[in-house]
Amino acid sequence: MVSKIDTEIFLPITFQTYKKNKINLLKTHIKTVNTLERIKKLNELSKIKTQQRKLLKKTINDIKDSYSKLQKSLPTSLQIGILEQKHTEQVYTPHTKTYPTSFQPMSRIDEELNKIQEKLKNLKI
């Protein structure tokens, strides 16, 4: 008869060690489950994101089509018979206020110059 060889190893452990290992194993299991849930949520969010992008692209294309149809349906100025208006530039000239000018009292030099000018006018050369 052929006998099977047992490959199992039995390690003697205490209850405290077993309890500690079991707690660590459960903690690891909880972290793994939480990570898997996060991955699942991220996958769902990425699907929603691609759907929203597709919807946005479709909406933009619809708007472009509507705009081009509207532009094609509008009559041109030649069809209506309206002449294009020429743009003329108008120069704005603001009204300036005139203020009375006040001069300094005439100095002696100014008085003499005025006398000389009057004499020159009288000579009429």
* Dist. CA 100–CA 87, nearest whole Å: 40
**Which range is least confidently modeled, 11-20, 100-109, 110-119?**
100-109
- Tell me: the pLDDT tens digits for 13-25? 788 888 898 999 9
Q: Is the pLDDT higher at 89 or at 40?
A: 40
- Tell me: the pLDDT tens digits for 53-80? 999 999 999 999 999 999 888 877 666 6
Q: Using alpha carbons only, what angle is made at residue 68 by residues 64 and 74, rounded to the nearest 5 degrees?
A: 145
pTM of the model: 0.43
* Dist. CA 57–CA 63, nearest whole Å: 10
